[in-house]
Structure 1
Amino acid sequence: MPISPSIPDRKVALAFMAHPDDAEISCGGTLIRLQQSGWEVHIVSVTAGDCGSMNMGPDETARIRFQEGTDAAHLIGATFHTLSEPDGRLVYDREALQKSIDLFRRIAPTLVITMPMSDYHADHEISGQLGRAASFVYAAPNASREPVLDGSRVPYLYYTDGHDGQDRMGNLITPTSYVDISDQLETKARMLACHQSQSEWLRSHNGINEYLTAMQAHSQARGTDIGTHAAEAFVQHRGHGHPGDDLLAALFPSQHSSRSPDSAMHASHS
């Protein structure tokens, strides 16, 4: 029998991403729904995004991308942060982890969405590792010199979809949770459009000619999984210490939520 979800009294959501546009691509619609439901929303880019240009230097690129991330967050009343780690050279070490824990301590999220630990980009994977580690330990009094805020706890933790719904080896991901974002897709596209500097970068480096179209197409493919116009997919972290009930399903129930993951994946990629 499914566990009955317990909605936290402290409604603070944190999207802990690798690069300034990752939240908009992978979970922007869900963040919009959370904000519309009365949640405080924070978006974090672990890196400064300083490698995301073919013709600007790292400092200028980082400055522009911070402003783009801030503009996108402001569209939905969210707050943008960066840990300013080096783009493309992110490592899991004590310094990066402590910076992550300190930021978690200041925000005290009860719902965390981070990146998959198997994905095409190593920065994504390491951000997922940092997000998982900080989620588990941030509320421990001795983990940081930052004060412990009331309501600090081990949060609900979800990993975003992989690029094209695949892991680093090209294997299909089986989501545990979907959020219908049909009504939020247009605003999600407006958020992503704030990242104007990435259009040429993604075309030249990643071979993506129209990143807005690519995002919309994948959102619509995930919507097909559950019989809606558009959706976002997640894998919930249900390991020891983390809440095991599906908070996203409780917050945003769908009449199609009982559809099996196997049939959903077949529909999306057939």
Structure 2
Amino acid sequence: MSDQANVVLCFMAHPDDAEILCGGVLIRLAELGWDVHIATTAAGDCGSEKLPRTEIAAIRKNEGIAAAQLIGGTYHTLAEPDVNVVFDKSTNRKAIDLFRQICPTLVITHPREDYMLDHEQTHLLARSAAFSFPIPNASSLPLAPGTHIPHLYYADPIEGINPYTGEPVTPTITIDVSREIEKKAQMLACHASQREWLQAHHGMDEYLEAMKRHSAQRGTLIGTDYAESFRQHLGHAFPQNDLLAELLP
């Protein structure tokens, strides 16, 4: 069991979401000595036009492991089927058990409103697990002494756009990742099955270029080359201090 005071869990829908949306911050936290965990609710089994579900899911799991290992992190998946992620009793229990095992102090997940429902349902699972895993009776797994509700942050929706209004979302904090951008690109490039498909489809390395474009756009908010933006969850019982601002000023 890791020291809860130094554990970050990036809980996203699909393999590669973490690298696109908050890879730079995960790199910075790893450099500060934090224990980094990247988890996905889905297996990535719809991530190919040619390969069967089981084969592409195995490939994408290995890609997720490789990306996390680049920064000394650990990859996990609940292995739910793509486009079928739902907030229900069984998946909620799986998420709570995962949180209980990892015991995070800091959680990063998708916002409530995003371009696809796998992301939005993952948001609900993350909120539920973050609130519930410290409750003794919420899981049959051992509860570490001193376990408490973690800081919770929402990464940008894809392209930083609210899909229901078409308007850009306004972050509460933006973190400089200019120094980390190339390593972030290396993490994303580990997801070769997705990168190669877009290279063939677009005729360019669109997978990495799209990530860099959005990171550059967020950089304009704080006068840096590249950045990542977040909104903090400030609901009842959640920590109110801005931990990311304190750790990564």
Q: Would you call these one fold, judging by a TM-score over 0.5?
A: yes
Q: C-alpha separation between the residues in 1 aligned to 2:111 and 2:196?
A: 25
Counterpart mapping for 1:55-74 below 5 A: 55-74=50-69
Q: Which amino acid counterpart does residue 237 of structure 2 have in structure 1? A: G
Are positions 1:95 and 2:105 aligned together? no
Q: C-alpha separation between the residues in 2 aligned to 1:21 and 1:79?
A: 14
8 Å Cα contact 1:10-1:151 kept in structure 2: no
Are positions 1:196 and 2:153 aligned together? no
Q: C-alpha separation between the residues in 2 aligned to 1:31 and 1:158?
A: 13
Tell me which residue corresponds to 1:109. Answer: 104
Counterpart mapping for 1:249-268 below 5 A: 249-253=245-249
Tell me which residue corresponds to 2:219. Answer: 223
Indicate which of 139, 160, 164 corresponds to 1:165. Answer: 160
Q: How many residue pairs align between the two structures? A: 246
User: Which stretches in structure 1 are left out of the alignment for 5+ residues?
Assistant: 1-7, 254-270
Q: What is the CA-CA distance between 1:150 and the residue it aligns to?
A: 2.8
Tell me which residue corresponds to 2:179. Answer: 183
Deviation string, structure 1 residues 175-227 (Cα, Å, up to 9, x no partner)? 00111101100000000000010125457899996110000111011011110
Q: C-alpha separation between the residues in 2 aligned to 1:167 and 1:24?
A: 20
Deviation string, structure 1 residues 67-94 (Cα, Å, up to 9, x no partner)? 0000000000000000000111111100
Tell me which residue corresponds to 1:28. Answer: 23
Q: What is the CA-CA distance between 1:162 and the residue it aligns to?
A: 1.0
8 Å Cα contact 1:158-1:237 kept in structure 2: yes
Are positions 1:45 and 2:45 aligned together? no
Q: Percent identity?
A: 54
8 Å Cα contact 1:50-1:86 kept in structure 2: yes
Tell me which residue corresponds to 1:245. Answer: 241
CA RMSD of aligned residues (A): 1.8
Q: C-alpha separation between the residues in 1 aligned to 2:84 and 2:200?
A: 20
Q: Secondary structure at the match of 2:87?
A: coil
Are positions 1:78 and 2:53 aligned together? no
Return the TM-score normalized by structure 2: 0.95
8 Å Cα contact 1:108-1:151 kept in structure 2: no
Q: What is the CA-CA distance between 1:237 and the residue it aligns to?
A: 0.3
Indicate which of 123, 126, 129 corresponds to 1:128. Answer: 123
8 Å Cα contact 2:4-2:147 kept in structure 1: no
Q: Secondary structure at the match of 1:14?
A: strand
8 Å Cα contact 2:4-2:104 kept in structure 1: no
Return the TM-score normalized by structure 1: 0.87
8 Å Cα contact 1:52-1:201 kept in structure 2: no
8 Å Cα contact 1:111-1:157 kept in structure 2: yes
Q: Secondary structure at the match of 1:98?
A: helix
User: Which stretches in structure 2 are left out of the alignment for 5+ residues?
Assistant: none
Change (3 A) 1:136 1:205: farther
What stretches of structure 1 move > 6 A for 4+ residues in a row? 203-209
Q: Which amino acid counterpart does residue 194 of structure 1 have in structure 2? A: C
Q: What is the CA-CA distance between 1:171 and the residue it aligns to?
A: 2.0
Q: C-alpha separation between the residues in 1 aligned to 2:193 and 2:230?
A: 27
Q: Which amino acid counterpart does residue 244 of structure 1 have in structure 2? A: Q
Change (3 A) 1:14 1:205: farther
Deviation string, structure 1 residues 146-186 (Cα, Å, up to 9, x no partner)? 00013421000000101111122222100001111011000
